[in-house]
Each structure stands twice: as structure tokens, then as C-alpha cells.
Amino acid sequence: MKSKKATARIAGLLYLLVGIFGGFSEGFVDPKIYVPSNPAATARNVFANAGLVRMSVAAHLLDGTFFIFLAMTLYALLQHVNRAGARAMLILVAIATGIICLNAVFQFEALRVAIDGSYVAAFGISGSNSLVLLLLDLQHYGTRNRPGDSPLHRHSGCSCGDLDGHLPSCGWCQVHEGECAPLSVYGSGHPPSGQFDRPLDKALPSGGMKIKV
């Protein structure tokens, strides 16, 4: 009994470490440097916060390490309850840890592109900035799978607009007849010609948020 309590305490400590390192990297650093659909701003943020990005890469790797140790600890606690379920948990966490570490590689490579002048010489400033954004896009969407990022959850009442009422270039939503709608409503994946040629300031039916284009 005492042994199980000690193992449970270890699991709780590992949960705390996962929350600390994951919260720092994903909740603090990533939003600070990543600007969706804005290569110049993203590259500038990465360059200006190079030390913070390095810390974030290390935090991602530590997060993944503690995550897999947490799964192993929970497996030891729960295998007598349901061995098959405990094994499934361990396998899924191992896969998730691999993804976390791979995303850390994308972030580190984005930093290298941002601070290494040879990429500017090879691709130009805009090309280098776009490459930084591409790598962080891969890292961002690999790390986060929120309902708001899924096309199945993009609808006319979505709340992806910022506090100023502007619709972000999130890659999934566009303005169509005053509503934020999935790209699929256009068929070809693009809004009708001239859709964005005039200012738009219209309240959304379901949420009341105003969007301006």
C-alpha cells in the first residue's frame, strides 16, 4: 500500500513537471513568437527572442521526457485494473511524445533559419521569413489540436476574431456574406472575386462579434 502511495506521489510530481514545462513552451513562448500568416513578424519575433526560443525547445524536450515517464508510472499503478487499457495509454503517450520532440525540431530549425544569414542570401528576406513561418506552422499545428483548429468546428459563429473585431488569416475561415465560414463553402477554396474589395462591418448572427476586412 505504501509503495502504491509513493508511486502515486511520483505520478503527481511528474504531472506537475509536465504542466510547468508544457505551459512555459506552449502557453508562454509559442504565442509570443508565432504570428499566423505573418512571416515578417514571426521571423522578427524569433530573431529578437532567440534565447527564449532555445529555452522553449529544451522545455518541449523535457516536457516529452517527463510525459513518457508519467505514462510509465501510471502504467505501474493501473495495469492491475485493466492491463490492455494501460498498455494502450502507454503506446499513445509514446506516440505523442515522439510528436512533441519532432515539433521541437521544427521550432529549433525555425530559429536557425531566422538567425543564420546564409538563408537570407539563398532565399532572400521574404523567402527566409516564409520558411521560418512554415516551420513554426508545422510546429504549431503539430503541437495543438484544439477544436477551434479543426475544420469540423469552423462555422459562421466562430470566435476566432481578435478583440478588435478583425478576422485573422487562420487558413480555414473567410468572410462570406458577412459571416465567418469555412473555405469549403466556396467550392474552389477561395472566396468569390471582389469579396474583400470593400470594408465589411457586420455583426455575426450567433455571437454578435463584428469583423472587419
Record the pTM.
0.64
Question: Helix or strand or coil: residue 192?
Answer: coil
Residue 166 DSSP class: B
Name the residue among 99, 98, 208, 95 with its Cα closest to residue 144.
Answer: 99
Q: What grid cell was written down for 81?
A: 485494473
Span 101-146, pLDDT tens digits: 999 999 999 999 999 989 999 999 999 999 999 999 998 887 665 3
pLDDT at 1 over 90: no
Span 72-111, pLDDT tens digits: 999 999 998 999 999 999 999 999 999 999 999 999 999 9
Residue range 23-44: mean pLDDT, rounded: 92
Distance, in Å, from the CA atom of 188 to the CA atom of 192, rounded to the nearest integer, reads: 9
More confident residue, 188 or 47: 47
Strand bridging mode 179-182 / 173-176: antiparallel
pLDDT on residue 142: 78
Distance, in Å, from the CA atom of 84 to the CA atom of 62, rounded to the nearest integer, reads: 27
Phi, psi torsion values for 201, nearest 5 degrees: -145, 90
pLDDT on residue 4: 85
Average pLDDT, the chain: 76
